[in-house]
Amino acid sequence: MEEIETEIPVDWNDLSVAVVGGDEREREIARLAAATGAAVRAFGFPWPEGGIEGVEKSANAQDALEDAQFALFPIPGMGMDGSLFATEKIIPNRELLSVMRPDAHIILGTPDEALKQAAASLQIGLHEYESDKELMLLRMPSIIEGALKLAIENTDRTLHRSKVCVVGYGNIGAMLNRTLVLLGSHVTLAARNPVARANALNAGAEVVHTDDLESIAPQLDILFSTVPARIVTPAVLDKLPPHALVMDLSAPPGGVDLDYAKRIGLKTVWARGMGRRAPVTVGASQWKGISQRIAAILQNP
């Protein structure tokens, strides 16, 4: 049995956990959850040929959630249609969640309004960890490595000496900016916040306000957007050169009008779920945070 780093003792053998939706990261999360001694059922992520030790594969999402005390929903979150990120369409509505225990809890990245309402109507606890900076930083290297891999595969230029714009200076934007500078890219960081621009400047990038994206667009080879708001407008896309690659690393609804970009002939990539590039590393870091939340919930139900 693997040791779980929690300050609050937990009798894992008494817990029933459902892991619903996700990708290869959820395999590792399910494995680690079962290694504690908890009863774990899972559905909705790519199932390995040899199974997962200690984890029961359910026939559907309802079977996985039946009488579960804790449900773990995917790291990548939810689609615009309210479905979980999963191998098949799963919408966590009131009917589906009603099979959980009365004192149940759901732990996930970020819920949409429909899920919040469904959980509230059943008095199911909803616990978000998307804003947990420690967990984001722990999975950040995998996200950046995955983004760079896609950029290399989708361009005929080296990142070294390419003219690149990173939109946004949150966790992802900051690390992407720093990495591209170290790789020798000519980086311009676009942000509204003057402090963010000052930090990027100190990290070796040129900086502009996001209102000035149109003015720099004609010289770009690659544009990375990390902000989940439509900052990269059709007016900006129209100014990009035909060879430019546009990559959106943000969560739905995204920061780029990718449909418009495709219509005008630009190469586009919506780089969601980059953490799956290193599922064992990222899954383990996520489980560390999830297990700590479970312990805290049990301490203060």
**140 and 126 in a common domain:** no
Average model confidence (pLDDT) across the chain = 90
Strand ranges of the sheet holding 267-270, from the earlier edge strand across to the other edge: 206-208, 186-190, 163-167, 222-225, 245-248, 267-270
Dump pLDDT digits (tens) for 197-234: 999 999 999 999 999 999 999 999 999 999 988 899 99
Within a domain: 3:
no
Q: How confident is the model at residue 6 (pLDDT cuts 50, 70, 90)?
A: very low
* Mean pLDDT (whole number) for 175-190: 96
Within a domain: 1:
no
**122 and 16 in a common domain:** yes
Residue 1 has pLDDT above 50, yes or no: no
Within a domain: 7:
no
Distance (Å, whole) CA 213 – CA 216: 6
**196 and 103 in a common domain:** no
Calculate the dihedral angle through the C-alpha atoms of 10, 12, 14, 16, rounding to the nearest 10 degrees: 120
- Which residue reads 């005008």 in tokens? 264
* Mean pLDDT (whole number) for 126-131: 80
**166 and 68 in a common domain:** no
Domain total of the chain? 2
**184 and 109 in a common domain:** no
Dump pLDDT digits (tens) for 7-27: 557 889 999 999 999 988 899
Q: How confident is the model at residue 276 (pLDDT cuts 50, 70, 90)?
A: low
**156 and 121 in a common domain:** no
**258 and 148 in a common domain:** yes
CATH of residue 226: 3.40.50.720
> Residue 139 has what pLDDT?
73
Distance (Å, whole) CA 118 – CA 122: 7
Tokens of 173: 């934007």
Strand ranges of the sheet holding 55-57, from the earlier edge strand across to the other edge: 55-57, 39-43, 16-20, 70-72, 105-108, 125-128
Within a domain: 17:
yes
**85 and 145 in a common domain:** no
Most confident of 105-114, 213-222, 281-290: 213-222
Within a domain: 53:
yes
> Residue 137 has what pLDDT?
74
Distance (Å, whole) CA 157 – CA 112: 39
Residue ranges making up the domain that contains 252:
135-270
Dump pLDDT digits (tens) for 30-75: 999 999 999 999 999 999 999 999 999 999 999 999 999 999 998 7
